[in-house]
């Protein structure tokens, strides 16, 4: 047995894995109180808003894959809110902008996370609203010890908060100072809000009725009213100017989460499910369709041949993402996932790194042209999602935006239910706190193009083509594996590594997560300022020097990263065996924050 940083956890009762140890413990507590996987996921999701405010918030969004035991396929709950009615390309052009900014008021969309989590609780869960919100209220009001990355993120925007976003400074700079790692941190405004929602919901009888009342409180009541008022405030953003918002209370009132069928492809004995093309999820499916034509069994997972074909397949799938995907009924998804199309795409992979951006023609249609911005110092791995590097220093582009991370949660219960969800948005760095709510708004609108004619072009009521992309895989026709990762444009790349290592390289879930990881930036970044790095491949330094040298010889622009910096994966699995249901769990050791539990 090879060494792993942690064991792959096994049990028969339940399993929870997430990007924060407190949230994972909350999920297990919910399971132990008799809740199912869906109840636990909701409690984890709300707790992550409190303990990882630099990576997600109440004003953000979440796509959820919810799989009932024995179901023919999981359901997609779309918590990606749309653009406001006032958000048009002409409106941004009139402001002199050719990109949607990455911070401030202008990129705000309808905050969909609250609606999606409560839809999961209402339609799939069993516990009352008060039970699943109790942990988040407790940690927000009484305090939680800060993970090391939170102070680093706050430190990076301290001057912004002091000069411009003083409502954020009031919460995140207690006493005027950056809080220390491990210090108890409170967001009393958020605790008060969630407690008020629970109290208001308790005025009506019935579990589902209380959840509906809470949804009204958020989308048609005091929360929507506060957001509507705050839209009139001018807010400093990455343009160097201050802008008022476009999101209105009426935008929240007319929105509801949708429950949709997933996209899926077969891969050997597996069937892999993703969200639709309003997310980047089908990228993984296209990658698998292309890779199905290569013999990956038993190959060297750290060798140049495996890395090369994976990177080249990624580049082809990402080109299709950028050209074709979006919230548009005309996206030719069936054709893009056709095995014959994958065969044609596979033939484009040669022995050397491709320099081209090559979206395909489908259904007799040439791909639309989309903007590509060549890399400058500010370009690269998306610049709108927040993170810090391994040393704890914030990673900031020359334009002032931060880049690259979010949250994830997976749950498997003793009945065979599975959940995978990737909450994000509403980061403390992205938009100022609305004082009476204790949180800021999502800036996911930065993923829209202001170039007309694309499925991902800005339009009122359209969802931005999000990078958020959880995964569920069936094995031999039965629900098996829930997994995912933070990481913006890298999410499906890192998810592919976990899946391929598990399927082809005989790695258990923890070994697959621990394995040296990589990604390519040969794609149009989804985040402001929308950079592009031709032929760039980032490898953790645990890849052999011979692999790095051979990839460079083939024309890849190799960037060597620290040995434990690529990927934030977690996973839970469920397997029926000998009349029992076994569960498994694993979580990422990178950043010393993710955690898995199983018993």
Report how far Cα 364 is from the mean position of its chain's Cα atoms.
33
- Only one residue has tokens 């924060």, namely 20
Burial class (CB in 10 A: 0-12, 13-18, 19+), 574: buried
* 4 has a pLDDT exceeding 80: yes
Residues 141-197 have pLDDT tens digits of: 999 999 999 999 999 999 999 999 999 999 999 999 999 999 999 999 999 999 999
Residues 547-590 have pLDDT tens digits of: 999 999 999 999 999 999 999 999 999 999 888 899 999 999 99
Question: pLDDT at position 580, please?
Answer: 86
Q: Which segments of 225-339 are extended strands (E)?
A: 235-236, 242-243, 258-260, 263-267, 270-274
Question: pLDDT at position 257, please?
Answer: 98
> Nearest CA to 392 among 215, 591, 225?
591
The span from the CA of 180 to the CA of 231, in Å, is: 32
Residues 513-544 have pLDDT tens digits of: 999 999 999 999 999 999 999 999 999 999 99
Question: pLDDT at position 577, please?
Answer: 83
Residue ranges of domains in the chain, CATH in brackets = 17-66+83-257+425-452 (no CATH), 263-377+486-568 (1.10.246.130)
Question: pLDDT at position 91, please?
Answer: 97
The span from the CA of 475 to the CA of 516, in Å, is: 25
Question: pLDDT at position 374, please?
Answer: 52
Residue bearing the bigger pLDDT, 370 or 460: 460
Question: pLDDT at position 316, please?
Answer: 98
Give yes or no for a contact between 289 and 270, defined as CB atoms under 8 angstroms apart: no
DSSP result, 60-111: SBEEEEEE-TT-SSPEEEEE-PPPPTT--HHHHHHTT-SS--SSSSTT----
Question: pLDDT at position 385, please?
Answer: 54
Measured distance between the N- and C-terminal CA atoms of the chain, rounded to whole angstroms: 22
Residues 48-76 have pLDDT tens digits of: 999 999 999 999 999 999 999 999 999 99
Chain mean pLDDT for the chain: 94
Beta strand 75-79 pairing with 258-260: antiparallel
272-281, 386-395, 418-427, 454-463: segment of lowest average pLDDT: 386-395
Question: pLDDT at position 381, please?
Answer: 36
> Nearest CA to 38 among 119, 121, 127?
121
- Only one residue has tokens 């400074």, namely 169
Give yes or no for a contact between 499 and 296, defined as CB atoms under 8 angstroms apart: no
Residues 407-427 have pLDDT tens digits of: 999 999 999 999 999 999 999
**Mean pLDDT on 81-105:** 97
Neighbours of 70 (CB within 10 A): 10
Q: pLDDT exceeding 90 applies to what percent of the chain? A: 92
pLDDT category of residue 462 using cuts at 50, 70 and 90: very high
**Max CA pair span of the chain:** 68
Q: pLDDT exceeding 70 applies to what percent of the chain? A: 94
Question: pLDDT at position 373, please?
Answer: 65
The span from the CA of 529 to the CA of 381, in Å, is: 10
Structure tokens, 442: 């999502």
Residues 489-503 have pLDDT tens digits of: 999 999 999 999 999
pLDDT category of residue 1 using cuts at 50, 70 and 90: low
Residues 342-399 have pLDDT tens digits of: 999 999 999 999 999 999 999 999 999 888 865 443 333 333 454 434 433 434 433 3
């Amino acid at each position: 047995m090879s060494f792993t940083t942690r064991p792959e956890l096994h049990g028969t009762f339940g399993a929870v894995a997430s990007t924060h140890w407190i949230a994972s413990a909350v999920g297990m507590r919910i399971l132990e109180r008799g809740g199912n996987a869906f109840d636990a996921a909701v409690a984890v999701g709300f707790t992550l808003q409190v303990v990882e405010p630099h990576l997600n918030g109440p004003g953000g969004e979440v796509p959820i894959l919810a799989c009932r035991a024995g179901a023919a396929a999981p359901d997609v709950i779309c918590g990606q809110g749309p653009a406001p009615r006032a958000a048009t390309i002409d409106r941004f052009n009139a402001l002199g902008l050719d990109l949607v900014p990455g911070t401030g008021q202008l990129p705000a969309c309808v905050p969909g996370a609250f609606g999606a989590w409560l839809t999961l609780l209402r339609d799939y869960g069993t516990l009352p609203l008060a039970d699943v919100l109790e942990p988040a209220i407790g940690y927000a009001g009484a305090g939680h010890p800060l993970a090391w990355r939170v102070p680093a993120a706050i430190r990076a925007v301290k001057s912004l908060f002091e000069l411009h976003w003083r409502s954020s400074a009031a919460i995140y700079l207690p006493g005027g100072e950056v809080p220390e790692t491990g210090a108890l941190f409170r967001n009393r405004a958020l605790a008060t809000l969630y407690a008020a929602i629970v109290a208001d919901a308790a005025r009506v009888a019935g579990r589902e009725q209380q959840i509906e009342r809470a949804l009204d409180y958020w989308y048609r009541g005091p929360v929507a009213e506060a957001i509507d008022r705050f839209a009139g405030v001018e807010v400093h953003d990455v343009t160097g100017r201050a802008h008022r918002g476009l999101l209105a209370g009426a935008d929240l009132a007319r929105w509801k989460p949708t429950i949709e069928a997933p996209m899926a492809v077969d891969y050997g004995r597996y069937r892999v499910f993703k969200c639709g093309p309003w997310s980047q999820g089908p990228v993984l499916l296209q990658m698998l369709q292309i890779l199905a034509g290569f013999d990956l069994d038993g190959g060297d997972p750290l060798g140049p041949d495996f890395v090369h074909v994976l990177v080249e397949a990624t580049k082809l799938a990402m080109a299709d993402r950028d050209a074709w995907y979006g919230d548009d009924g005309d996206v030719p998804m069936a054709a893009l996932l056709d095995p014959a199309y994958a065969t044609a795409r596979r033939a484009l992979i040669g022995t050397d790194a491709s320099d081209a951006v090559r979206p395909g023609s489908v259904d007799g249609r040439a791909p639309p042209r989309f903007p590509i911005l060549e890399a400058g110092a500010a370009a690269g791995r998306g610049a709108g999602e927040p993170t810090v590097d391994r040393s704890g220093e914030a990673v900031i582009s020359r334009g002032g935006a931060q880049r690259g991370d979010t949250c994830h949660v997976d749950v498997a219960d003793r009945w065979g239910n599975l959940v995978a969800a990737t909450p994000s948005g509403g980061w403390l760095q992205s938009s100022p706190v609305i004082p009476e709510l204790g949180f800021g708004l999502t800036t996911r609108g930065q993923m829209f193009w202001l170039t007309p004619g694309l499925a991902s072009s800005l339009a009122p009521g359209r969802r931005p083509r999000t990078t958020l992309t959880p995964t569920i895989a069936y094995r031999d026709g039965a629900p098996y594996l829930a997994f995912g990762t933070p990481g913006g444009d890298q999410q499906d790349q890192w998810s592919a590594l976990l899946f391929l290592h598990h399927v082809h390289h005989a790695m258990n879930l923890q070994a697959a997560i621990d394995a040296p990881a990589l990604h390519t930036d040969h794609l149009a970044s989804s985040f402001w300022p929308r950079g592009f790095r031709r032929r760039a491949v980032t490898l953790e330094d645990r890849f052999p020097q011979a692999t790095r040298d051979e990839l460079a010889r083939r024309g890849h622009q190799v960037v060597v990263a620290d040995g434990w910096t690529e990927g934030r994966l977690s996973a839970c699995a469920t397997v029926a065996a000998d009349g029992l249901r076994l569960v498994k769990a694993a979580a990422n050791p990178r950043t010393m924050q993710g955690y898995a539990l199983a018993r």
